[in-house]
Structure 1
Amino acid sequence: MPTTSRSARYDDRVIAAARAVFTEQGFAAPMAEVAKRAGVGVASVYRRYPSKHELVEHVRIAAFRLILEEAEAARAEEPDPWQALARFMRRCLREGAGIGTVLPPMDQQHTYSEEFRDLRLRVAKAIEELVEAAKHAGELRADVDWTDILLLFKHLNPALPTNESRRAELRARYLGLVLEGLRAGGSRLPGPAPDRDEWQALCDNFATS
């Protein structure tokens, strides 16, 4: 197996383990627990990710990549804009996806990579395009903004004391209810949607005034 393939498989295992451990135990969980869950040595984890915040950055990068893949696939394969949006949300919340997992606040002392910053912008644009297309088609309610969609992922993926299979079933169940509420024609929603700055602060787990 090529070195790059082994490295990618290693990263996938560690990132999936980190996401699961931080979801279940919080950011205080030791790196040793992440290593144990991934089935690798803790020293090798530290060689690849020198700090816990760097590991969390890569967990977020993996989530960004998945969101982009699902958004692009939905737009390419679903001609109906509403079905594209609904498919995108279902796929992002499917079993094992990890989208919406509550991570620790962004570390203001950590220098985030160019890849991270670029992916965050691309994610926002991709979701905005899905939302605007569904609104333009008259199928999505006009008072829903693209920022609402990512925050819904957080609401629909809380840390529940059960296994991932059951959590995924519950996410799918409550997403079904949410999708009915997103359709055009309902009574106006109370309060405004978050703007870009508030959305980013909330997604990064920063307090807002």
Structure 2
Amino acid sequence: MTTPHRHAQHDDRVIRAAREVFAEQGFAAPMAEVAKRAGVGVASVYRRYPSKHELVEQVRIAAFQLMLDEAERARAEEPDAWAALVRFMRRCLREGSGIGTVLPPMDPQHVYSDRFRDLQQRLATAIEHLVTAAQQAGELRTDVDWTDVLLLFKHLNPRLPTSEHRRAELRARYLGLVLEGLRPGGPELPGPAPDRAEWQALCDNLATT
């Protein structure tokens, strides 16, 4: 008899393998490669995730939860608001974080679960709190929005044909440059930040005008 604990272990292995395979090979990678990396049978993967988009949704859910945990720990443990924001961004992009992974654009035809949408919105709120606190402390430029921070993760983490170790080194390098640009006193940023509606449309891979 399969226990819930064994189910969770199986899911963790598959999600971790999918994250690695999609980062290395792109979304075209076969499910058989994910199963091989996870050390499970292809049939068992398909029983849990009947389509590749459902598997990708679970990879995203895992990433949302990790990011939310990082945001909450940073707010609770860091001595000031800027340190909390910096810690959050660095840990989300560190090597092996399980967060900094390139995934395909969200499929507008796929119906995402309530859990997915709930975590997506909770994460947005947590990042908004980090950004607002750093601005109120005078440590973050006032023309930066929480949506900018979320979209920066996409820019800082392109899919590159190299190892995760090297990708993480490059993420850390360019994050260092970005953090300097987030400090107050620089020239005004061109163009407005995305509002919540535009951010949602961009996340959902929908056309915006």
TM-score (norm 2): 0.94
1:185 to partner: Cα distance: 1.2
Moved over 6 A (4+): none
**Alignment partners' CA distance in 2, 1:202 and 1:99:** 19
Please name the residue that 1:8 is paired with: 8
Please name the residue that 1:179 is paired with: 179
Distance of aligned partners of 1:204 and 1:102 in 2 relative to their CA distance in 1, 3 Å threshold: farther
Partner of 1:173, secondary structure, is: helix
Please name the residue that 1:39 is paired with: 39
**Alignment partners' CA distance in 2, 1:194 and 1:123:** 16
**Alignment partners' CA distance in 1, 2:147 and 2:114:** 22
TM-score (norm 1): 0.94
Asked if the contact 2:143/2:189 (under 8 Å) is kept, the reply is yes
Instruction: Show the 5 A alignment for 1:116-135.
Output: 116-135=116-135
Asked if the contact 2:107/2:204 (under 8 Å) is kept, the reply is no
Asked if the contact 1:151/1:203 (under 8 Å) is kept, the reply is no
Identity among equivalent positions (%) equals 80
| Structure 2, gaps ≥5 residues long | none
Equivalent residue pairs, number: 208
Mapped pair 1:52 → 2:42: no
Alpha-carbon RMSD across the aligned residues, in angstroms, is 1.5
Q: Could you report, residue by residue, the CA deviation over 1:160-200 in whole angstroms, capped at 9, with x for unpaired residues?
A: 11100111111111111111110111111111111112212
Please name the residue that 2:91 is paired with: 91
1:100 to partner: Cα distance: 4.5
| Structure 1, gaps ≥5 residues long | none
Asked if the contact 1:67/1:92 (under 8 Å) is kept, the reply is yes
Distance of aligned partners of 1:202 and 1:97 in 2 relative to their CA distance in 1, 3 Å threshold: farther
Please name the residue that 1:193 is paired with: 193
